[in-house]
Structure 1
Amino acid sequence: MHGGAYVGGDKRDCKDYLTMLSAQAKIIIVNVNYALAPDISHPVPVRQLNEAVAAIKKSQYPIDWDNIYLGGDSAGAQIASEYLISLTNKKLQKTNQLSPVLKNVQIKKFISLSGLLEPDKFAEIDDSISGFLFEQSGWAYFGYKNFSNRSEVKNLSLSKHSKELHQEFFFTDGNQKTFTMQMNTTAEALKRDNLSVTKISYDESKLGHEYQFDFNNPEAEKTFKELVGFIDK
């Protein structure tokens, strides 16, 4: 699921990256578009992910449906993680009016690239301008100006559902103007519940949001190799 703060982005933005990942990791990658806020609001993209899976299951792609990886970039990681949570959370299924076509046991790994993992903390980053823009995007998507205080948004944090999960997790993010703190908090919470977590981060260089797509940075190339290794493991 692509990024774009719920209000922008397109699956074409990460097509080259995913094509290269598919070739090197030797996996089928399905790249999904979804409707954008403010034309729609939460949880429409989560439902659309479920609809995409249903459509793909009717296709002739040679997919091993007992060995599925799920993930996304930035806000797309939040949409993907919410879908993952919904596979075992009946209350969330009811709230989102969602009947998942996948089962939790079919999802083996989860991948977050600069992911929004605590959506109530969307605007809590080390840059006031980006924070303001993210706050407006969260308002457009969740439908509440004070979305960060809403219990239903807080409950979408991946870390709050670690006891319901069994997957292996891959997290990476930059270290400025992005969701570094969320990544660290989530990774530690999952580890405490004995889940397998691979976290790739760097302190030596200044790396911004979605650094992983810029192969002018040696860190991006290293992360890509780590991600291929995680998939191959």
Structure 2
Amino acid sequence: MGARRMLIIGAVAAALLTMTACTAAPHSSLPTQEAAMTDATRDLLTAAAAGDASAVEQALNAGAEIEAQGSGGMTALVAATKGNHVDAARALITAGADVNAKDDIQDSAYLYAGARGHDDILLLTLENGADLTSTNRFGGTALIPASERGLLSTVEILLEAGVDPNHVNNLNWTALHEAIVLGDGSSTYVDVVRALIGGGADVGIPDGDGVLPVDLAKARGYDAVVAELER
């Protein structure tokens, strides 16, 4: 009876797994299912991902749905931005694409351009309604990953635009914390720290463990960063 009981339990478990898979909700980020897309909309998504601005315009003129979501929940604009296809992104934004529309992993054209230093596209989004308070999947503004990656020109653009330098993300870090903890203390990061402080970053905000930025820098031997923080 023991063996039979195990077989029954196994069969029930397998059936439950099958039922769960069959009844799972459709992908929430694809309100426009690809099977229901028009040819023009499919052409738009393909052209945007390839960076073909001319084909983007042709698809839009043919009636493509500009906010349709394809692979990964990406709109055409997000796809163009992730490829750093400036002309395609410009064509989409000019046609009214939402610069704040997010994909499955909470990337928008604005957030991704800021995080990756795609400054030409970033400026386009800022000129066309970018939400400076918008946050990524880590609860951070565009300024935080830009600081983490040492993208000085991007940091300066975002600060000039008015992004809050003291926003705290889900890791309890500000842009200043990330520039120190995830940076390497090189001259690039010294410049980023200087820009952040000049842009209003509060050197007195501790991380989630109560450690101040200057102490984080000292612990890593980043003397030049320490000097900027102690000015």
TM over 0.5: no
Q: TM-score, normalised by structure 2?
A: 0.31
Q: TM-score, normalised by structure 1?
A: 0.31
Q: Considering fraction of residues, name the structure with more helix.
A: 2
